[in-house]
Structure 1
């Protein structure tokens, strides 16, 4: 038996490849399925089943393409109602793969169809659980995504989750290995550990949600501090439930090289968003007017989802030459399939064509420290939880996630400084503000972390404790 966790850091997502004898199963595959096909060919095994723990909200699964290419059926837990052919398993139904078995445990709470897959090894021992978004390491799945006004509340879902954990997960042997669908950084939970694999014994000991004295306490604990989910989540659920274009179709459509003139024409004709995926350090020195910067070397896809929201929005890409495929692949993982094309030769070709460019004023932490005084207007775009742990004197916390809500309230006449933790998010914010005609600001490269390291800002930085 072989279990391989295929972890994608930028999505904080774990897919699983399981082999026994000449058969395999894959759990929660990513959108691009070629890596799985390569593994199957290398191991000379047949894919027997594709298991989906639930209808994912934060990424588009590769279940449909993988099923089309291999003929393997897709399996969901009880109550799932996909718009395509799939096996809807019964609670405790068992599926054989080689000499091992996968037992379906219906564990509603994160969503109504959420299921955990229990692996029983060749000797009949309960070996591991693939817990999806039911149980994370250090946390449990958020119970607010499947709530529907007038039918079910987040409190009711949290109660279901408690019952699922108590009745299906906690009775399992302590030495069972826990393989979750997500790790730290995912918006599907709030308190995840950095590790991606653990024993159930350790989770029973350390996971706050598993150590609540009763259901009421559990409901209160898991709902406390939940921020609103990213707005693109619902659209991803629809794609996973209803279907989508094949990855190859999306890639072929997006890999459309455009010279500067054609790129400009396409922007005018399609109303596409100009998405510049270069680093913040490159972007601020020169970019196409109205382009939005979300760097590929970061949590690219989740931030595109949070900032752009509408997965049907046409996109035109400006990337480092040779990075076009990577950008399209990572966009497809969160359902942004409408890439119209990319600027051939990157920004340099635009600049050489003599077309108009724009810049954003960026200074270093040391330069900011020299300019600092207590009357400065400072906007900190980090999360509220980060801000509370420490922030600059007089800084206002305006999280990047909510920029659409606060951008329109910034007075044009007053200059301000803009920062995040390290410069990635603040340049996203800077590019969005700039595209909306808000230009009277200076962005701080290196962010809060860099500013603190200078040792030149009056201490202590304000620290708030809840």
Structure 2
């Protein structure tokens, strides 16, 4: 038997392949199916099944494409209301791969239609469990993403109550040596306290996971519904797209226009170049969302699912990478055109006099675009304007338009580059500066 984990660090997403005697089942695949095809070829296996633990909010799955390409059966809970060809996979249902079994366990909590998959080895012993977004290493799935998405909606308090019973009545009853394989790791927005480890055991989680410790139902609900991270704009959109099934990846991205020019600024422009290049010259009004580890998350946090945008990169290879990153969250269809740096990219960014700012911070309007969880741990300046980056485009009118220049900061410089470009496109009366990486040294001094 082979169990292999595929891990996408950008979305902190783990998917899995299970192979037994030449037959392979994939669990929670990412948008690009090619790694699973390659793995099957390497092991001379046929992909016979794809299991979806729930309709994912944070990435687009290739379950339908894998089915269309290989004929593999898609398995999903009947509660999902899936609009693609599938077989229901709920309590009591079993997939047999020769002498091992994959058993469905309904575990509502993160979503009403969540399932886990228990693997029983050839000796009939419980050996591993694929927990989707129900149980993570050090955490459980957040319960607030299905209040307005999917065919079944539920308030976060009700889902937290269901998570309490899914963990106590089902997962915590498994043998302590059962290996836990979750769908996410640290950095995912599907939980709030994930460990750096990408697998665990039931025994370890019983000892170390805050959500599995002794507490009553009401205390658990309060704990689970408090201090969850923000939910990007694209989450509900991805739930719906995963419920129907996304178009095939290569066909979808090949239809993107790569020859158009930007003749007006009526369409949003996402410039993915390094900020040093952006500052030297960019199209007026564009947003500098750099190619980085969390590009997909920030794209889907700043841009709404119904917004079209132009995508800019330095060269064709980088453009291909950025298109595929956008496609991970189903945003390739939002790309009106993908192009290299155009000739009219001649708008320059203002340069901050860092010495003057550090000497006279009160002479500037300081905008803090960190997330609320970071802000709640303390601010680095006196009386900043606090607007987290995902909220900035909607709340930009809250920034005072006095005669003070504006300085934007985050925690390390990535978000402030995007935020300062958003603000500079809207506020022309004063200079807008990006504090950038200098915030790291300033934070050390304040500590």
The equivalent of 1:432 in structure 2 is 422
Contact 2:146 2:153 in 1 (8 A): no
Structure 2 partner of 1:104? 104
Aligned with residue 295 of structure 2, among 292, 300, 304 = 300
Taking the aligned partners of 2:57 and 2:193, their CA distance within structure 1 comes to 18
From the superposition, tell whether residues 291 and 62 of structure 1 become closer, same or farther in structure 2 (CA, over 3 Å).
same
Question: Of 400, 405, 412, which aligns to 1:411?
Answer: 400
Deviation at 1:441, TM superposition (A): 2.0
Structure 1 residues 403 and 152: alpha-carbon distance in aligned structure 2, compared to 1, 3 A threshold: same
Aligned to 1:360: 349
Distance in 2 of aligned mates of 1:449 and 1:434:
23
Q: In 1, are the aligned partners of 2:148 and 2:236 still within 8 Å (CA)?
A: no
* Cα drift, residue 237 of structure 1: 0.7
Q: C-alpha deviations, 1:282-307, integer Å up to 9, x for none?
A: 22222111111111123011111010
* Equivalent residues of 1:92, 1:106 under 8 A apart: no
Secondary structure of 1:257's partner? coil
Q: Note closer, same or farther for the CA distance 1:285–1:326 as it changes in structure 2 (3 Å cut).
A: same
Q: Which residue is equivalent to 2:373?
A: 385
Q: Is the CA contact (8 Å cut-off) linking 1:212 and 1:218 kept in structure 2?
A: no
* Residue 233 (structure 2) aligns with: 231
Query: Superposed, which structure 2 residues align to 1:320-359 within 5 Å?
Result: 320-321=314-315, 322-338=317-333, 339-343=335-339, 346-347=340-341, 350=342, 353=343, 355=344, 357-359=346-348
* Alpha-carbon spacing, 1:419–1:121, altered in 2? closer, same or farther (3 Å): same
Residue in 1 that maps onto 2:197 = 195
Unaligned runs of 5+ in 1: 462-466
2:308 corresponds in structure 1 to 314
Deviation readout 1:387-418 (Å, 9 max, x if unpaired): 23343231333211211332112222332211
How many positions carry a matched residue from both structures?
440
The answer for the alignment partner of 2:410 in structure 1 is: 420
Asked whether the equivalents of residues 102 and 118 of structure 1 are also in contact (C-alpha less than 8 Å), the reply is yes
The TM-score, its normalising length taken from structure 2, stands at 0.93
Aligned residues: CA RMSD: 2.1
After superposition, the Cα gap between the structure-2 partners of 1:148 and 1:441, relative to the gap in structure 1 and judged at 3 Å, is closer
CA-CA distance at 1:192 after TM superposition: 1.2
Give the equivalent residue in structure 2 for 1:68. Answer: 68
Note the alpha carbon deviations across 1:303-334, whole angstroms, 9 max, x for none: 11010022x43232111211121111111111
Counterpart pick for 2:275 among 280, 283, 292? 280
Alignment partner, residue 125 of structure 1: 125
Q: Secondary structure at the match of 1:170?
A: helix
Which residue number in structure 2 is paired with residue 450 of structure 1? 441
Q: Structure 2 matches for 1:5-404, cutoff 5 A?
A: 5-147=5-147, 152-254=154-256, 256-258=257-259, 262-265=260-263, 271-310=266-305, 312-321=306-315, 322-338=317-333, 339-343=335-339, 346-347=340-341, 350=342, 353=343, 355=344, 357-363=346-352, 367=355, 370-374=358-362, 376-394=364-382, 395-404=384-393
**Structure 2 stretches of 5 or more lacking a match?**
none
How far 1:370 sits from its partner (Å)?
A: 4.3
Name the SS for the 2:280 alignment partner.
coil
Q: Given that residues 16 and 29 in structure 1 are in contact (C-alpha distance below 8 angstroms), is that contact kept between their aligned partners in structure 2? A: yes
Cα contact 2:9–2:293 (8 A) shared by 1: no
Q: Are 2:94 and 2:101, in contact at CA under 8 Å, matched by a contact in 1?
A: yes
